[in-house]
Copies of this chain bind each other. A is one copy, B any other.
Amino acid sequence: MSEAAPEIERPEPVRPGPDRDDEAEHEFGVSSEFVNGVREKLEDGRIGEVEAAVSDLHAADLADLVEQIGPDHRGALIDILRPGFDAEIFAYLSPSLRDVVVDQLEPRELAAAVAELESDDAVDLIQDLDADQQREILENLPPETRALVEEGLTFPEYSAGRLMSRDLVSVPQFWTVGKTLDYLRTETDNLPEDFYDIFIVDPMHRVVGAVPLSRIMRQKRSVKVGDILTEDIRTVSATTDQEEVAFLFRQYGLVSAPVVDGAGRLLGVITVDDVVDVIDEEAEDDLLKLSGVPDTDIYRAVLDTTRSRFSWLFVNLLTAILASAVIAVFEGTIERIVALAVLMPIVASMGGNAGTQTLTVTVRALAMRELSEANALRVVAKEALVGTINGALFAVIIGLVAGLWFADPLLGIVIGSAMIINLFVAGLCGTLIPLGLARLKIDPAVASAVFLTTVTDVIGFFAFLGLAALILL
């Protein structure tokens, strides 16, 4: 068994980090050079060249172009895209620019474009418009499309019902593979463009299973689909939250899943491309909420953005004033030892940062379902311990620095002790706050950071200045 040990030769690991955002090296998508080129052509009035440049672009790339071209050239670009406007572009546009483009198109143009969309994309677009715009578009849609879209809008926002497409392939279980293939060959006009599973339904149109296309293709024509179906498939209720849908696809590596009503009847299908969008949205959501930003739309108007950021900053101002009130309690102490004023931001800042580390891990673990009641206690204890150990390490460092700086060993002991206390509190609150909020059914991402920094500021200043008043005076 012991031959020459195999040499595992391979290049040094290349981390994507360093050059991940260098546009010039992106292989796919529109480049800055391309955008600048279109801009120049628009400025020179070379309309035909712009038409040629954009004619082969995927809707997603067109949307990027509309976004990046800037407000001065956007109107002219949209006018060029206007004849037979591809409504799929909307699916990829930032919300604020979606409104801009919608406003520029006539209701009839818009309705004609929307009529070309699959029902889920049409619902996705229309749900965000205001009531007047919705009405105008719906009035101009063909009756069947309109009925599907209106039905889609009856499902709760962020539900599987809004995500699903009504275009799917379902056959009864007594059909053979051959009959199914023949059906697909004759019904080509009524089939969705892309599908990955054929759903098998009973006479009441309830889902009894699914056959992936890759399986049906391997079977002889005489085989019954009922004999090759996967029975144990995961169906999604139309009212299921989209986050739950994302979990389902991620957990089990699905490419499509059937959506059913309360009685188990097949309503529609959700495909993985829609779920990828949801995954992006949810990840973004956590990131933004932890930083107190309501959205990532870099195309929103200045005043809208200012207003949307104001409220988080206002809450932060209140907590900062609270921290100042704590400092004010020790005004007399600071007056006598001004070194305290110099050093006091350090303890609070370290607590805030250590707490944010813990908080981020906890919020992410909650979102990814890694943290549950089954292991919560263990994680809290671990984070408190991590905080205490790091607190002790930094106590030694800052204790030496402060003691030498102000030639006062006692001052070093004071700041070191405060550091241990605050980093222990940071570890404890960095887990307990999000877990507590989740328990109270409040989204932990949105409120945890404010609570946490309030605690680490207040405890940081109070421990440092309080210990100083006790020990140094």
What B residues does A348 contact at CB under 8 A?
345
Having A6-B135, A305-B386, one finds 17 other A-B pairs with CB under 8 Å, namely A10-B154, A36-B374, A68-B374, A191-B214, A216-B217, A250-B277, A254-B273, A298-B371, A302-B386, A306-B389, A310-B393, A317-B394, A324-B345, A328-B342, A331-B338, A341-B344, A349-B457
CB distance from A127 to the nearest CB of B (A): 9
Question: A438 within 8 Å of B by Cβ?
Answer: yes
Name the contact of A284 in the complex, choosing from B247, B255, B283 (C-beta under 8 A): B283
Question: A244 within 8 Å of B by Cβ?
Answer: yes
- Which residues of chain A from 213 to 231 have any CB-CB distance to chain B below 8 Å in the complex? 213-214, 216-220
**A26:B390 contact, CB within 8 angstroms:** no
Question: A446 within 8 Å of B by Cβ?
Answer: yes
Question: A58 within 8 Å of B by Cβ?
Answer: yes
Q: Name A's interface SS.
A: helix
The 8 closest A-B pairs by CB, nearest first: A283-B283, A253-B273, A13-B157, A341-B341, A291-B360, A21-B438, A35-B374, A213-B213
Give the nearest-CB partner of A328 in chain B: B342
**B26:A369 contact, CB within 8 angstroms:** yes
Query: Roughly how many angstroms separate A334 CA and B248 CA in the complex, as a whole number?
Result: 58
**B251:A28 contact, CB within 8 angstroms:** yes
Give the nearest-CB partner of A58 in chain B: B252
**A374:B27 contact, CB within 8 angstroms:** no
Name the contact of A356 in the complex, choosing from B292, B331, B334, B343 (C-beta under 8 A): B292
Mask, A183-210, CB within 8 Å of B = 1, is: 0110010011111100000000000000
Name the contact of A338 in the complex, choosing from B31, B135, B334 (C-beta under 8 A): B334
What B residues does A184 contact at CB under 8 A?
217-218
What B residues does A372 contact at CB under 8 A?
23, 31-32, 35, 68
Query: Roughly how many angstroms separate A309 CA and B427 CA in the complex, as a whole number?
Result: 12
Answer whether A247 and B327 are a contact pair too, CB < 8 Å, given A15-B157, A20-B443, A350-B317: no
**A22:B287 contact, CB within 8 angstroms:** no
- Which residues of chain A from 257 to 280 have any CB-CB distance to chain B below 8 Å in the complex? 272-273, 275-277, 279-280
Mask, A222-247, CB within 8 Å of B = 1, is: 00000000000010010011111001
- Which residues of chain A from 14 to 39 have any CB-CB distance to chain B below 8 Å in the complex? 14-23, 26-29, 31-32, 35-36, 39
Name the contact of A349 in the complex, choosing from B36, B234, B320, B354 (C-beta under 8 A): B320
Question: A470 within 8 Å of B by Cβ?
Answer: no
Answer whether A218 and B70 are a contact pair too, CB < 8 Å, given A157-B15, A273-B253, A353-B292: no
Question: A86 within 8 Å of B by Cβ?
Answer: no
Give the nearest-CB partner of A214 in chain B: B195
CB distance from A359 to the nearest CB of B (A): 8
**B374:A32 contact, CB within 8 angstroms:** yes
CB distance from A36 to the nearest CB of B (A): 6
Interface size for A (C-beta < 8 A) is: 173
What B residues does A342 contact at CB under 8 A?
324, 327-328, 331
CB distance from A87 to the nearest CB of B (A): 15
CB distance from A239 to the nearest CB of B (A): 9
Name the contact of A365 in the complex, choosing from B15, B279, B296 (C-beta under 8 A): B296
What B residues does A356 contact at CB under 8 A?
291-292
Question: A156 within 8 Å of B by Cβ?
Answer: yes
Question: A139 within 8 Å of B by Cβ?
Answer: yes
Question: A288 within 8 Å of B by Cβ?
Answer: yes
Mask, A56-77, CB within 8 Å of B = 1, is: 0010110010011110000000
Answer whether A350 and B154 are a contact pair too, CB < 8 Å, given A16-B241, A284-B283, A357-B309: no
**A276:B296 contact, CB within 8 angstroms:** no
Mask, A353-390, CB within 8 Å of B = 1, is: 11011011100111111111111001100100110011
25 pairs, CB–CB < 8 Å, chain A vs chain B: A5-B135, A20-B241, A21-B366, A21-B443, A22-B441, A27-B237, A61-B251, A69-B374, A188-B218, A195-B214, A279-B279, A283-B283, A293-B357, A293-B360, A302-B382, A303-B389, A309-B354, A313-B350, A313-B394, A317-B346, A317-B394, A320-B349, A327-B341, A327-B345, A345-B457
